[in-house]
Amino acid sequence: MMILAPLRGVTIRAFREAFALPIKEAGFTEAFTPFIPAIPGLDPLKDRELAQGASSDLKVTPQFIGKDPTSLRECLKKIKDAGYDTADLNCGCPFPMVRNKGRGSGILRTPDVLRKMMEVGCDEMGDEKFSIKTRLGVERTDELEKLIPLINEFPLRFLTVHSRTAKQMYEGECHHEALNRIKAICRVPLLENGDLDYRRGEGMVGRSFIRALGERHDIEELLKKYIEISEAELYGDRPVLGRLKELLAYFKDSPTWSRRWQVIKLCRSVEELYAGIT
């Protein structure tokens, strides 16, 4: 099984629509949405990611972030009514502004909250329909390992582990030994994440697949489709440019795109961007 990772601002609905063919060709069978806040009173179906209901072309699993079990339950009820049959809790977002509030990877520091969130998720979605995505820890590589006995108590669909700490963000080496220790004691199906090559055909993969898109023979055509979809969704050049530049930044280190990127990053209109990608 290979799942398209939730890269905020990149693997969004518009991207999945524009790049549907490469996603299918690569062997992805499912995609996680970039995280959606589970906030009291907020209807998740108003989020552009979920507004159109469950897709039949590529299985989509909504991912939520939060620490309030009541709010999570409200969100899960609504997505089930819209046709989604699986959901995920983000327990791995590494950004300090998120984790310092006890959300994302910060939830690893509050086992009682994690327990309550898993209780709600498994109760509302059903056995093997709710998953969590996390990291090895916030600062140390043994923090998640100590929580595995708690996680083993729940009938999770799977546990996705990015084999870095939150403090590392996306830099430095993955800690494979620490991940192997978790594998040895985890009774929940475990899905790997972090610096995986999409050509392996398994795990939760994002960055290697995104970077490889830049080398496709039809990338210009795909980007134009992405721009068209984005122009229909967003108002004005500025948000469209922001969205496209976030994706194209993944291409900047390749020989094909390094010189183009120097032009693209300075573009101030969609017309200039079209010129930069051709």
Question: What's the pLDDT tens digit per position in 118-152?
Answer: 999 999 999 999 999 999 999 999 999 999 999 99
pLDDT at 48: 86
Cα first-last separation, the chain: 35
pLDDT at 50: 87
Element (H, E) at 90: strand 87-91
pLDDT at 54: 63
Q: Which residues of the chain have pLDDT under 50?
A: none
pLDDT at 52: 65
pLDDT at 240: 96
128 in Cβ contact with 157 (< 8 Å) = yes
| Helices and strands (H and E) in the chain: how many | 12, 10
State how far the Cα of 278 lies from the Cα of 219, in Å rounded to an integer.
10
pLDDT at 7: 96
pLDDT at 53: 62
55 in Cβ contact with 85 (< 8 Å) = no
Q: Give the HSE-up count for residue 110: Cα atoms under 13 Å, Cβ half-sphere.
A: 18
Q: Where are the beta strands (DSSP E) in the chain?
A: 2-4, 30-32, 36-37, 59-61, 63-65, 87-91, 130-137, 159-165, 190-193, 203-205
